[in-house]
Copies of this chain bind each other. A is one copy, B any other.
Amino acid sequence: MQITIDIESSVPLFAQLIAQIKQAVQQGNKKPGDALPSIRQLANDLNLNNKTVAKAYRLLERDCVIQTRGYRGTYVHPDARENSLVDLNELVTEKLKSAIAALRASGATDSEIRVAFAAIMSSGDA
């Protein structure tokens, strides 16, 4: 795994990991079924904490880019190629954008929108 982590970057480490693994899949350097380094292994190689790598893996699995098979290790998902292109963030961003635009049009202050947002997110009640 040729992964480069930039500690100085403002991009979170787990996000750098996700981006680079997705990129490797898209470029064909990692094909469906290929094995990925274990969490502990990769964390050790990159001098990262296990949790950081685990977080990246967890998100990647949720997006069906990788597959964890318990004790058997982690592998590239069969549909990784296309799934790595689908960016959940874009979907999230679009939906939020329209909602926020509507609120701004209603005369709500950005500050008020932030406060309401924080209130909703903190109290798991959605």
Contacts and interface: CB of A to CB of B under 8 A. Distances in A.
Interface of A: 59, 62, 88-89, 91-93, 95-97, 99-104, 106-110, 112-117, 119-121, 126
**Chain A at the B interface: mostly helix, strand, loop or mixed?**
helix
Nearest to A15: B115
Contact of A106 (B91, B101, B115, B126): B91
Contact of A95 (B91, B92, B97, B103): B103
Copies of this chain in the oligomer: 2
Nearest to A110: B121
Contact of A120 (B59, B97, B120): B97
Given A93-B116, A117-B117, A88 B106 contact: yes
Nearest to A55: B111
B106 A120 contact: no
